[in-house]
Structure formats: C-alpha cells, structure tokens
Amino acid sequence: MNAVIRGTGGYAPEKVLTNADFEKMVETSDEWIVSRTGIKERRVVSNGETNSDLCYKAAQRALEMANISPEDLDMIIVGTVTPDYFLPSTAAVVQEKLGAFNSAAFDVAAACAGFLHGLSIARGFILNGNVKRVLVIGSEVLSRITDYTDRSTCVLFGDGAGAVVVEADENGVEGGSGVLSSYLKADGSKTELLWIPIGGSKDPITQQNVDARGRYIMMSGNEIYKLAVRAMCDAAQKTLDQAGIGTDEISWLIPHQANIRIIEGVAKRLKIQDEKVYLNIEKYGNTSAASVPIALDEANRRGMLKKGDYILMVAFGGGLTWGASLVRW
C-alpha cells in the first residue's frame, strides 16, 4: 500500500500587487525587492473573498484531475495560519462548500510547512488503512495579517491555495509511485523570530491594542534566512536517506517560495542544479502553506513532471516548523 497523488489543483486571486504598487506605499523600489527576494508581484484577495473560497477553487481542480467526486473523500486537511474563523476549522467550511459530507475535516497550523505536514498526515492515515482518499490543501490569506507600513515584511507575502488528492494504491510500492518518505521538525524556542504576538487567547485583541503592530506578521529576516537554509537542507537530506535516494537522482526540487536567496542556498547545499529547481516566486511571492502545492500544480499542468520522476518538496516557516516530502511521480 502507498499514498499516491492522483490530482493537483491551484488557485490565486485575480487582484495583483506589483512592486510598483509598493513604491507608492512604502520607501522601497522594484530593484531592491527583486534583488533581495526575487519577487515581482503577488496576488491578494478582494473584499469578501475568503480563505475557504481559495481552498474550494483549488480543491475543485484537484478533484477534477483525479476524477473523484467530493462524496468519495474520507478526509480533508487544510494547512493554514489564516483560517476563516478560529472556530470552526477552515477544512469544515471547505467540506460544506464541496459537499464532501462523508469526510473528516481538520486544519493543521504549521505555517509555511503546513501543506507538507498535511501530506505526511494523509500518508500516515492511508498506510494505516484507515482512509482511502484524502484532500490535502495549503491555503493562505496573508494580506489580512500583513502590516503594509512595514517595508521589511509587506513586500514578501501573497494569497493563494494549492491542493492534492491523495489515494491509497495497493500497487504503489511495487510500481514505485507515491509519497515515499517524509520528515517533519519544529523548534518552539524560536517562536519570536516569526510570529503574530497579539490576537490569540494569551493576548486577545482589545480596544487598547487594536492598532498595535503585533496584530500582524513580525519577522527577524536575517535570523530566519540562516535557520531556514540549514533546516530545509537537513529535512531534505533525512527524507532522501529514508528512501535511499541520492540528490543526483532528484528530477525536481519544489521548495517553499519564500525568498530567492533561501532557495538558491538550499539548492547549492544539496548540490541540485538550477534547472531542476522549480520557481514561481516572482509571480506569487511567499504564500506560506500554499506555496509548495501551487508550484507542484503548475509544474504538473505544464507537463514537467514525468512518470517515475523523483519530486523533493521542502518548506520552512513560523513555529518554527519545517519539513520535506519525497514523491515518485
């Protein structure tokens, strides 16, 4: 038995924020943003557009590719830190919108590594024989938790959703396809390097702090850069070691699209050639949990992923959390 990806889907809002737009909002420039991040534009939701709306559209595309109806799903997992509500889960809202009433539904809060956590959880349930079909979504509406007066963070983030349908396959291991291995890790001692301090039950929003910057994403960029490269490389190597695969056998590295310098650092340390690294950061920016599945779906729909290809996915985010998954297509 193995967990095989049957379908992929992605969705990004229509509204575009370009670097030129940010030149009018904060003291920055297109050259500064591109040289330090690799980002040229990002998508953001319009008024009334929600996280579950993005999930729904990405999920529809994944289900259509997999030729599976919502009623066939046993489980829906949504990786997100920007849920529609604190209660209920965004996954439950997505279940209702899809009409997937035979499924369990829950969220995973692992920031930028949320999709890979969800994929690993789905694989575990499938290998245990508890479920047959799981919809895994990574989706974020980061524009609603971004401080657009902070030039060090506001240029980084965008909104979007990506999804995969994962199905049990009795021939998966023999055929060599499916999710071969995963590795997840966290370090809660470094929470304050990337966090939103105000708004939870510890320090809820009040009339006194409603305008405080702590309502938004706060990040120590230099420290995150150094930790991210090392952690992502470690997770990737451990994932490859589990499967007995060398980096020279990797067909595609699909990394979290956080920062071009981080991506380049990871690829260099893993000795993966530039032409094997999938990039779309210039179009979407950092979409957190949505980043990896959006990139996976793009590569898939472009016909870039061939049967038998080894796909290495890796991400790092707040928590701190990080992880990697190896898939044979």
Peptide bond into 320 cis (omega under 30): yes
| Adjacent-strand bridge partners of 84 | none
- Asked if 251 and 326 touch (Cβ cutoff 8 Å), the reply is no
Directed axis angle between helix 291-301 and helix 51-66, to 10°?
30
Question: Does 117 participate in catalysis according to the annotation?
Answer: no
Choose the catalytic residue: 112, 117, 154, 259. Answer: 112
Active site residue 256: yes
Beta bridge partners of 3: 168
Instruction: For domain 178-328, say whether CATH 3.40.47.10 is its number.
Output: yes
Same CATH topology for 2-175 and 178-328: the answer is yes
User: Directed axis angle between helix 260-270 and helix 221-243, to 10°?
Assistant: 40
Instruction: Write down the H helix ranges in the chain.
Output: 19-23, 30-37, 51-66, 90-98, 114-127, 172-175, 221-243, 260-270, 281-284, 291-301
81 CB-side CA count, 13 A:
26
Distance CA 52, CA 200 (A): 21
CATH superfamily of 2-175: Thiolase/Chalcone synthase (3.40.47.10)
The CA distance from 31 to 13, in Å, is 25
- 286 catalytic per annotation: yes
Would you say 219 and 286 are in contact if contact means Cβ atoms under 8 Å apart? no
pLDDT tens for the chain, 329 residues long, are 899 999 999 999 999 999 999 999 999 999 999 999 999 999 999 999 999 999 999 999 999 999 999 999 999 999 999 999 999 999 999 999 999 999 999 999 999 999 999 999 999 999 999 899 999 999 999 999 999 999 999 999 999 999 999 999 987 555 578 999 999 999 999 999 999 999 999 999 999 999 899 999 999 988 999 999 999 999 999 999 999 999 999 999 999 999 999 999 999 999 999 999 999 999 999 999 999 999 999 999 999 999 999 999 999 999 999 999 999 99
Q: Domain map of the chain by residue range?
A: 2-175, 178-328
CA distance readout (Å), 64 to 10, 57, 67, 135: 12, 11, 5, 12
Nearest to 16 by CA among 48, 51, 52, 40: 40
Nearest residue to 36 (alpha-carbon basis) of 245, 228, 221: 221
